[in-house]
């Protein structure tokens, strides 16, 4: 029986990561790792769940492979592994979150949003889902909704979470840009009203 080439690559890279110092196998529960390059959805960084929930066998193996691939920026291979994880455990929110980040890395924000929404539906307290959702909404041009999702992330995150400052910075940037656009729109509207009044008065 011929083995899918993608799984061979996943296995080789996973073994290389583990034997070369490790990435996910020794990480504590709910640990999160920097997963995507800086240019994904205009983000400075993104979070994925790197520690497998209490499962074993193929589910654990595929989840770890996906974490390694995300860390390496190999989003296509990560998504392939996560699709198998979802087949095995469709109600696992961590898999949905990581699939969302993989899809962001593949520049597919609409599909990514579906995964983050599903993760939140499965577990409303899945903190890193809100971070990913905010990046996705920003990529889709839904600035107001993105601000709401990122604020939720900051509200739910632990005090020592190293990504909270990045989230606050994104909130400040998006809010400032939104306010600037609103001011510009008001200025244009005011000038238009004045021009209209002058024309009407002159007539």
pLDDT, tens digit, for every residue of 161-178?
A: 888 999 999 999 999 998
CA distance 128 to 136: 12
- The tokens for 134 are 């905010």
Q: Which pLDDT does position 114 carry in this prediction?
A: 97
CA distance 13 to 44: 25
Domains of the chain: 5-202 (1.25.40.10)
Q: Which pLDDT does position 159 carry in this prediction?
A: 84
What's the predicted TM-score (pTM) here? 0.69
Helix H segments across the chain? 5-19, 57-71, 75-88, 93-105, 109-122, 127-139, 143-156, 164-202
Distances (CA, A) of 148 to 145, 167, 201: 5, 11, 45
The CA-to-CA distance between both ends of the chain, in Å, stands at 86
Q: Which pLDDT does position 56 carry in this prediction?
A: 76
CA distance 121 to 37: 27
- The tokens for 185 are 């729109």
For residue range 65-112, what is the model confidence (pLDDT) as tens digits? 998 999 888 999 999 999 999 999 999 999 999 999 999 999 999 999
Percent over 90 (pLDDT), the chain: 51
CA distance 180 to 177: 5
């Amino acid at each position: 029986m011929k083995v899918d080439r993608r799984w061979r690559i996943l296995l080789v890279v996973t073994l290389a990561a583990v034997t070369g110092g490790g990435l996910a196998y020794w990480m504590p529960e709910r640990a999160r790792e920097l997963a995507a390059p800086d240019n994904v959805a205009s983000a400075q960084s993104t979070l994925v769940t790197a520690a497998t929930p209490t499962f074993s066998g193929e589910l654990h193996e595929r989840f770890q492979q996906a974490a390694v691939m995300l860390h390496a920026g190999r989003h296509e291979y990560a998504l392939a592994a996560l699709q198998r994880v979802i087949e095995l455990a469709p109600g696992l929110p961590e898999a949905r979150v990581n699939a969302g980040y993989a899809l962001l890395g593949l520049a597919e924000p609409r599909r990514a949003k579906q995964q983050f929404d599903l993760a939140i539906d499965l577990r409303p307290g899945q903190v890193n889902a809100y971070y990913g959702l905010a990046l996705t909404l920003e990529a889709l041009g839904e600035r107001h909704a993105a601000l709401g999702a990122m604020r939720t992330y900051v509200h739910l995150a632990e005090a020592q979470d190293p990504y909270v400052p990045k989230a606050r910075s994104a909130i400040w940037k998006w809010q400032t840009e939104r306010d600037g656009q609103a001011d510009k729109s008001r200025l244009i509207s005011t000038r238009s009203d004045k021009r209209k009044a002058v024309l009407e008065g002159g007539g």
